[in-house]
Structure 1
Amino acid sequence: MKIAFVYSGQGAQYQGMGQDLYESNQIVRDVFDSASEALDLDMVALCFEENNQLNETTFTQPAILTVSMAIDAILKENGIEPEVVAGLSLGEYSALVKSGALDFREAVQLVKQRGQFMTEAVPSGVGAMSAIMGLDREIVEAVCTEVEASGVGVVTPANYNMPGQIVIAGIKAAVEEAGERLSQKGAKRVIPLQVSGPFHTALLEPASKQLAQALETVSVHEPKLPVVSNTEAKVIKNQTEITPLLVRQVMSPVLWEDSVRTMIDELGVTTFIEVGPGKALSSFIKKIDRSVTILNVENQKSLEKTLEKLKAE
């Protein structure tokens, strides 16, 4: 059995995420306290109490990173450690913390800035994202190219999540036009996403440049574990690659399906544990390869189930 930890990305957040684990585990409380101190922000109130901030990108990103690393700490305490790590977009920061490449406190400050840069890069309402269901990537790519060439505006694939699910992003009118054309090409569904901007497109270049500056103040170390970057779907070879990849990641498509295939085919991963809120990555992996074992930990119940399953194996 070769275990990979995969970490949740933005969109997985919900009020109360990690709360039962926080209430019953000191190690979780320690991670929350560390994040609260680093940000001068009440992470408990942000994650557990009714508020509007949790869905604002600037706050969503540090919240998900905190919950993911708190759950990671419990797994470590129970003797569960990965041999490979990866994360969907924002989740890559959790993977880098786990690998020892980034310090948690620095990472939580960095992703709050990243969220702010991403929010400010494109004015609200200008950009959009839609999930395209049931079409091959070649068709989606061709239609996006056609729409861009027609002068409507930027629209490109932003997330290759799994076979038959690709998210497109760009200028709102261009995304809508591409969605209509893709429906005509046989897309089963076109689902507009509730997001604050056209993430993972060239429109995020201003955020990418600001992030590059912010990363100059962050210590980056040699990863102690193989980290699969979802910008290239390859293992990060050494620390010198990390900063350029994180800068590119903001405005490059997320190659999640390809990253999972790399973990299975090249690194021999047989068991995936999704660490953090939600089960989106588990559902993607199931569609990519049904032969692997897929587990997740987001609360006490799923923790117990995962520990039981691993003990049995």
Structure 2
Amino acid sequence: MALGYLFGGGVGTEPHGLELYQAYPVMRELYDRIAEWAGLTVGQLLDEELPKPPEERQGVGSVREAALALAVYDILAEHGLRPSVVGGLSLGAMTASALVGALGRRELVEMLAHTRQVPALCADAPEQGMALVFAPAGTESAGLAEGRPGVYLSGDFGPAADGSARILMLSGERAALEALAGELPAGLVNPLPDRTIAVHSPLRAHFRAFMAHYIDAMPFRAPELPLASCLERKTLVTAEDVRDLFHRNATDPISLVDVYTGMRQEGVRLGLVMGGSIPDGILDFPFPVVHVDRPEHIEQVLTTVYELGIDLPDGQDAR
């Protein structure tokens, strides 16, 4: 039975990892390096207020989330744990790529830091937003974006843990999202008031175009472990597979279902959710999961690995 590491996506507004930073020297050393690579301070990586301009906020927040995921990986490695399979969602897919030999950590961090330079949209561009959808159980896709100008299905997180709904994400023009929410039963479509970037939609074409030359120049390599894609049900096996993911991530819809299904097909029977980007207890997974973003979670992981008899790979980790 294989151990899988799952890296979530998105940029949260609440800081995570302060207790881990205080408890583990390996994390403090890593944060010193990441801060230097990104041109940030350690405080910005930990708990300082994110910048206000949307692209700069997204860029700094992305470095912060990736840093925590990398740190959790290193802490677990100190305890003798390494994955046999990895998967990631959006930012998590890019972070996971740096842990399976597809690119270096510094290359990842410098790329994320570079996204702060994406030009802002013109002042008269429609305001963007995001919404979460709690669709009735059994729904395969939102169906809500069809025929709705300015609304795009941008994510599928799969069934809720209690089986009551399928959780989906819409991105697009804020006015169109709010209009849709107002036409449907209360609680079905829920615009997110603090999200001002229409992630994983065609409205991010300018971001993709700006980053294209940078990504083309990055020295990708073939992953050294199975890497489950979040853009389709596929295992990434070549350097160009990974480069393609980096190019498409901004504009293409993502699917956590594709990630964990791919991991399950690779033999994963226990998943460790790295960092705080996927809330605990909200989603249904096809294998047991342990969320890792606090010191007490480390002992929980070790106990669970032992109790389930999880196989660990031999040799050195793929950093």
Which whole-Å deviations, capped at 9, do the CAs of 1:243-279 have from their partners, x for residues lacking one? 1221111100011112212222x21211110011244
Q: Decide whether the 8 Å contact of 2:102 with 2:222 is kept in 1.
A: yes
Gaps of 5+ in 2: 160-165, 309-319
Q: Decide whether the 8 Å contact of 2:11 with 2:62 is kept in 1.
A: no
Residue 275 and residue 144 in structure 1: after superposition, are their counterparts in 2 closer, same or farther (change >3 A)?
same
Cα distance in structure 2, aligned partners of 1:20 and 1:237: 36
Matched position secondary structure for 2:146: helix
Deviation of the 1:67 alpha carbon: 1.1
Which whole-Å deviations, capped at 9, do the CAs of 1:26-53 have from their partners, x for residues lacking one? 21122111101112211x2113344243
Matched position secondary structure for 1:270: strand
The RMSD of aligned alpha carbons is 2.3
Deviation of the 1:204 alpha carbon: 0.5
Deviation of the 1:133 alpha carbon: 0.3
1:162 and 2:158 are equivalent in the alignment: yes
Cα distance in structure 2, aligned partners of 1:80 and 1:38: 26
Matched position secondary structure for 2:221: coil
Q: 2:226 matched to which residue of 1?
A: 226
Q: 2:65 matched to which residue of 1?
A: 64
Deviation of the 1:85 alpha carbon: 0.8
Q: 2:311 matched to which residue of 1?
A: none
Cα distance in structure 2, aligned partners of 1:145 and 1:278: 29
1:2 and 2:10 are equivalent in the alignment: no
Q: 1:151 matched to which residue of 2?
A: none
Q: 1:307 matched to which residue of 2?
A: 302
Letter of the 2:153 counterpart: P
Q: 2:290 matched to which residue of 1?
A: 295
Q: 1:253 matched to which residue of 2?
A: 253
Deviation of the 1:139 alpha carbon: 6.2
How is 1:111-260 mapped onto 2 (pairs within 5 angstroms)? 111-114=112-115, 116-117=117-118, 120=120, 126-135=127-136, 137=139, 140-141=142-143, 143-148=144-149, 154-163=150-159, 164-181=166-183, 183-184=184-185, 188-193=187-192, 194-260=194-260
Residue 22 and residue 311 in structure 1: after superposition, are their counterparts in 2 closer, same or farther (change >3 A)?
same
Q: 2:315 matched to which residue of 1?
A: none
Gaps of 5+ in 1: 149-153
Deviation of the 1:116 alpha carbon: 4.7
Q: Decide whether the 8 Å contact of 2:7 with 2:274 is kept in 1.
A: yes
Matched position secondary structure for 1:220: coil
Q: 2:162 matched to which residue of 1?
A: none
Deviation of the 1:180 alpha carbon: 3.4
Letter of the 1:308 counterpart: T
Matched position secondary structure for 2:282: helix
Cα distance in structure 2, aligned partners of 1:110 and 1:176: 33
Q: Decide whether the 8 Å contact of 1:282 with 1:296 is kept in 2.
A: no
More helix by share: 1
Residue 52 and residue 36 in structure 1: after superposition, are their counterparts in 2 closer, same or farther (change >3 A)?
closer
The alignment's TM-score, normalised by the length of structure 2, stands at 0.85
Report how many aligned residue pairs link the two structures. 296
Matched position secondary structure for 2:113: helix
Q: Decide whether the 8 Å contact of 1:121 with 1:204 is kept in 2.
A: no
